[in-house]
Amino acid sequence: MAVTKEKKDQLLEQYKDMLADAHISVVAGYQGLKMAEMTALRNQLRPLGVEMHVVKNTLARLALSRLGVTTPETLWQEANAIAVSKQDVAAAAKALVAYAKNEQRFVIKAGVLGKQTISAEQVGSLADLPSREVLLGRVLGGIQAPITGLVTVLGGVSRSLVNVLDARRRQLQEAEG
């Protein structure tokens, strides 16, 4: 079935908009997966803020190219789907890598992080990162630790001053009495 030029232009704009706003995009082959399996995967990804789209390779490659992202030609030789996350990069990578481990027919081929193309192995490395919430907790803990230390030191100084003054008071009382 031939796609009209207008429909191609419309799809190209949709792909550009979708990919321009993404924190991470993962290109994956889905040869042999049934529609019900793809729907189940989409339903699994949706709560994580990840959208999965089956794409026309030429238009997806062109959309990425217009966004300043170069991809290897070999990436676009078979049918592809692109998973796009506008939220947590690590959570998206974790879910896709976990699905690929359990489903041999779903193969992660590459990813796009910002304007940089990354390999399937690098997508796997992103999956090993802690979640956004854990990273934020670590950052806040790192910020809070020096402040807590400062409060402890300042409290120790004031306690020491109080102890010295109390000892001097007792010394003067003993000298009088």
Q: At what angle do helices 57-66 and 5-20 cross, to 10 degrees?
A: 50
Lowest mean pLDDT among 43-52, 73-82, 161-170: 161-170
Q: What is the pLDDT of residue 154?
A: 76
| Helix (H/G/I), strand (E/B), else coil: 85 | strand
Lowest mean pLDDT among 2-11, 51-60, 117-126: 2-11
What is the CATH number assigned to the segment(s) 5-129? 3.30.70.1730
- Where does 6-55 show beta strands of DSSP type E? 24-29, 50-55
Q: Average pLDDT of the chain? A: 89
Lowest mean pLDDT among 58-72, 78-92, 163-177: 163-177
**Average pLDDT of the residues in 53-69:** 94
State both tokens at 141: 């803990």
Domain segments of the chain: what residues? 5-129, 130-177
How many Cα neighbours within 13 Å face the side chain of 42?
Answer: 14
**Average pLDDT of the residues in 79-87:** 94
In contact, 159 and 167? CB cutoff 8 Å: no
55: left (phi over 0), alpha (psi -120 to 50) or beta: beta
Lowest mean pLDDT among 30-34, 59-63, 126-130, 154-158: 154-158
pLDDT digits (tens, 9 = 90+) for 139-173: 887 787 777 777 777 777 778 878 888 888 888 88
State both tokens at 129: 């990162």
pLDDT above 70 (res 1): no
